[in-house]
Amino acid sequence: MTLLDAMTEHLGPLESWPTYILQNLFIDHPSPTNNSRLRMVISFLYGNDVPLETAYDFYIACSGLTGAAARFVIEQTKEWYSQWHRSKLRRHS
């Protein structure tokens, strides 16, 4: 199963995803001081029950990030998923 197949299992057809999510998957280059768009996408994925590793792998594949930038996405995604998991009664944005 491809990464895209796994994502469409969770989120439905690509055409049904919010436009802002698709835009931010392909145009954003997050950093520690500029991660609001990354958070928006990861929040959407978490809220739709996309598994942690699938979420960051898909984001990295779409954005074309490598090296330190990819590691940042992985670590930040792990941190947010952990925070959101611990506080299920609060909004995760």
Whether 93 maps to a domain, the answer reads: no
- The span from the CA of 4 to the CA of 39, in Å, is 20
Whether 32 maps to a domain, the answer reads: no
User: pTM value?
Assistant: 0.89
Whether 23 maps to a domain, the answer reads: no
Whether 50 maps to a domain, the answer reads: yes
**pLDDT (0 to 100) of residue 25:** 92
Whether 31 maps to a domain, the answer reads: no
Whether 30 maps to a domain, the answer reads: no
- The span from the CA of 79 to the CA of 15, in Å, is 29
- The span from the CA of 68 to the CA of 65, in Å, is 8
Whether 19 maps to a domain, the answer reads: no
Domain hosting 42: range is 1-13+37-88
**pLDDT (0 to 100) of residue 32:** 85
Q: Is 64 a residue whose pLDDT tops 90?
A: yes
Whether 83 maps to a domain, the answer reads: yes
User: Which residue is it, tokens 């997050």?
Assistant: 30
The share of the chain scoring above pLDDT 90, in percent, equals 78
Q: What's the average model confidence in pLDDT over 27-52?
A: 92
- The span from the CA of 11 to the CA of 62, in Å, is 16
Q: How many domains are there within the chain?
A: 1
- Are the beta carbons of 14 and 58 closer than 8 angstroms? no
